[in-house]
A and B are shown apart, each in its own frame.
Chain A
């Protein structure tokens, strides 16, 4: 260290003092580690190059432009077996995002209910919620996926015995078919109206808050904003003459025609991920609410706040600070667990990538795509949540 020299500036240093100098030791160990890591890395690289050359696999991402030649059951974008591998992987990525998005919403909803339920003073409710958490937390998510897929959804009737549900929906072992909305020419007005409504809602909310800060008068922001966001698109829809028809699904003898179909694979994965992650989210919520000191709710009561206002303005904002970081990691876990769709044949990123890998033999390239995509999702979510967390964090003087 630097103060070492300050103590004995003039003395000539012995070899022994160099050996025991923490700075020199540090440099030595770092160089040693670097040499080992680079050495092993080079060895691996060398072996890989030799192995690839022997098996005649061309490295690089050229294969992404090749014809995929396999079909994908569920796709958000146009895809056929003539499409490229790159497009197949893109389809998988979009499916991953789709199931993660709906899974996160459902898991959060169930998790909140169960987490608050476990804190309920009602003995029966608290016990039921505890049973839910203890059951789902201690079973592999893969098993829950299979449970839904093999156990529940495969016992649905065949196409010719389809169950007819209200609103033109049809349920059978091919999945849940529902009427597909077909938009008319003037339909572009609706998203535009929605956009205007959102912008207007923001302005109203800001104005209401500023007015409350200035004068203390409250404004029913929630109702106004809800009315705007729902009402304006509906008005626009009616104004251009309701340009919407439905394509109803028809159950034939062996096959469904028309409509949109939610595949059972998607449902199994979505339900399993939601139920499984909800048990963890419930624990997070419970811990967060319990972390708010009892004095806070007592002080709020002493100020004369009503229980609902206390929850909204005192308990939840403080609990959120504890809840957000673990909640983020649960969301990421759900997204990563969506890769288990491969087990039931839901074409998400790992499934389509795996098929590509089997057909082309481009293992390193496909794995690198997986790494990049999942790491980007993780990092993006972390950044967003860090920003959100910083916004929510306690401002201390």
Chain B
């Protein structure tokens, strides 16, 4: 039938009508999102009041009043306290952070040798970035270089004593460098050990299961600081007379043990979520135990627990700050050490240093959690019902 000539049939489509005003205008958005009910309106007013009360003061303290440049404490103290600021002044002392920035990064590492940690950092970034980008190939080689090659190279570079490099003892290490080394080693050790412990806990062999359960539950039941104390004071007792063990290594052992126990529980969660059919299917194909775990179970289990694994990493990264209690100078430790430095002593120095350290920690942890969310979306095979 020819409809073209029928007068009452439209020849062209009507353009879409714009959405109702109350869903696209600013006032409409405010009405639905801020003032929907009287209770909402009250809450909004309260929140705005809090913001108006707190934000300007914070911005003023952090940026406007802050002492950005300076070489010693006089720039961050008032006249009464012996400085150049007017009495009653209070603001962040960023000059302190700027002056001590190198120390916050490398601790008391000799200044002439600081190219070494810098080089390690560059290598680390060069190996880390490709492994984080799912599109890039050769993940196996990359992981091998990052988790096996880099630690060896980094040890010789940082510690020195070979190839004509000056020896730098670990008590001189410090700052963000130590925080990153501790967490990297913790992560690199805890994942494989955690997987083994989780498999041991799910094992049918009673002896292995009991050993794994005891280890995991004892370590998870006590605070990290006691594990660090244990590593610090008891490791030397456990070793034969005459053996000495570096303080830094003790902290590394403590952190690694602690992280492994937590990782084991995360991995176990993943293992328990795998349907029994997957195990039976692998068995029926004639795969050996390790083939089954490596090819069938772990790829699925680990994918399920990526958020948990990253949370453990974040927790570990934050927990490394505890080594400052057993006398090591990680980022938090070195910032604290500077509070007593007479060059910069002032009422605002501690809080500025802590805000700076907190910001660095936050940056790393927030980055990790964002990346985990991205990987979760990327690996989502949409099999959820």
Contacts and interface: CB of A to CB of B under 8 A. Distances in A.
Interface of A: 26, 29-31, 33-34, 37, 44, 47-48, 50-52, 54, 120-125, 128, 134-135, 137-144, 146-147, 150-152, 154-155, 336-337, 339-340, 342-343, 350, 354, 357, 363-364, 367, 370-371, 374-375, 378-379
B287 interface: no
Given A340-B225, A371-B226, A374-B221, A135 B43 contact: no
15 contacts: A48-B237, A54-B241, A128-B51, A138-B314, A140-B361, A142-B321, A147-B351, A147-B355, A150-B354, A151-B354, A339-B225, A340-B322, A343-B325, A350-B225, A370-B229
Interface in B302-350: 314, 318-319, 321-322, 324-325, 332, 336, 339, 347, 350
B350 A154 contact: yes
B79 interface: no
Contact of A350 (B226, B347, B355, B365): B226
B211 interface: yes
Contact of B238 (A44, A121, A154): A44
B144 interface: no
A140 B332 contact: yes
A350 B208 contact: no
Nearest to B321: A140
B40 interface: yes
Nearest to A151: B351
Contact of A121 (B36, B211, B220, B355): B36
Given A124-B47, A143-B357, A151-B350, A47 B239 contact: yes
B207 A336 contact: no
A336 B223 contact: yes
B205 interface: yes
A336 B34 CA distance: 40
B347 to A, nearest CB: 7
Given A50-B241, A122-B43, A151-B350, 6 more contacts: A44-B238, A138-B369, A150-B351, A336-B223, A367-B229, A371-B226
Contacts of A51: 236-237, 241
A128 B354 contact: no
B234 A367 contact: yes
Nearest to A276: B318
A140 B332 CA distance: 9
A140 B318 contact: yes
A280 B362 CA distance: 15
Tell me which of B223, B236, B336, B365 has the highest count of chain A C-beta atoms within 10 A of its own C-beta.
Answer: B223
Contacts of A120: 43
B225 A123 contact: no
B48 interface: yes
B208 A29 contact: yes
Tell me which of B48, B225, B233 has the highest count of chain A C-beta atoms within 10 A of its own C-beta.
Answer: B225
Interface in B347-385: 347, 350-351, 354-355, 357-358, 361-362, 365-366, 369
A47 B351 CA distance: 46
A354 B336 CA distance: 21
The prevalent SS among residues of A at the interface is helix
B358 A143 contact: yes
Contacts of B205: 26, 29-30
Contact of B44 (A37, A124, A154): A124
Contacts of A150: 339, 350-351, 354
B65 to A, nearest CB: 15
Contacts of B358: 139, 143-144, 147
Contacts of B218: 371, 375
Given A51-B241, A139-B361, A121 B40 contact: yes
B64 interface: no
A142 B236 CA distance: 27
Instruction: For the complex of A and B, list the 8 residue pairs with the smallest distance between their C-beta atoms, beginning with the closest.
Output: A138-B365, A151-B351, A336-B223, A123-B33, A30-B207, A339-B223, A140-B318, A140-B321
A228 B347 CA distance: 51
Contact of A33 (B211, B225, B336): B211
Contacts of A354: 229
Contacts of B211: 33, 37
Given A33-B211, A339-B226, A374-B221, A47 B47 contact: no
A275 to B, nearest CB: 13
A34 B207 contact: yes
Interface in B203-233: 204-208, 211, 217-218, 220-226, 229-230, 233
A235 to B, nearest CB: 37
Given A54-B241, A367-B230, A135 B34 contact: no
A148 to B, nearest CB: 10
B362 to A, nearest CB: 5
B33 A121 contact: yes
A276 to B, nearest CB: 10
Given A50-B240, A125-B44, A374-B226, A143 B34 contact: no
Nearest to B179: A140
B233 A139 contact: no
B238 A48 contact: yes
A336 B325 CA distance: 15
